[in-house]
Amino acid sequence: MTTQVIFRIDKKIKAQAQKKAKGSGLTFSDILQMATYAYVKDDFEPVLMRKEERFNDKTAREIHSALSDIAKNKNLSRSFFSVKEATKYLSK
């Protein structure tokens, strides 16, 4: 036996969710049912639903490039023991 659940949600969010669900071959109702079942089974943590922070494209490219250089031991300066020593080295 099933029951109906009614709740309020912003129209724009509902439309976006319906469109995204449709793109996955599901209905918005399917998504809500799956989320409810997962929540009951402790497979769904509401806290985890916060959007993960991500770097923008430019920053991600720079970080990827820097990590690649580090792996290749490329474009690296030597270690310094003081700010004065580093400043002197960089002033050359």
Give this prediction's pTM.
0.48
The pLDDT, as a whole number, for residue 48 is 58
Query: pLDDT (tens digit, 9 = 90+) per residue, 29-65?
Result: 999 999 999 989 988 777 755 667 788 899 999 999 9
d(C-alpha 57, C-alpha 46), whole Å: 28
Closest CA to 3 of 26, 29, 28: 29
Quote helix, strand, coil % in the chain, to nearest 5. Answer: 60, 0, 40
The pLDDT, as a whole number, for residue 49 is 59
Closest CA to 67 of 56, 55, 75, 78: 75
Structure tokens at 41: 């089974």
d(C-alpha 92, C-alpha 84), whole Å: 13
Query: pLDDT (tens digit, 9 = 90+) per residue, 65-88?
Result: 999 999 998 988 888 999 999 999
The pLDDT, as a whole number, for residue 75 is 87
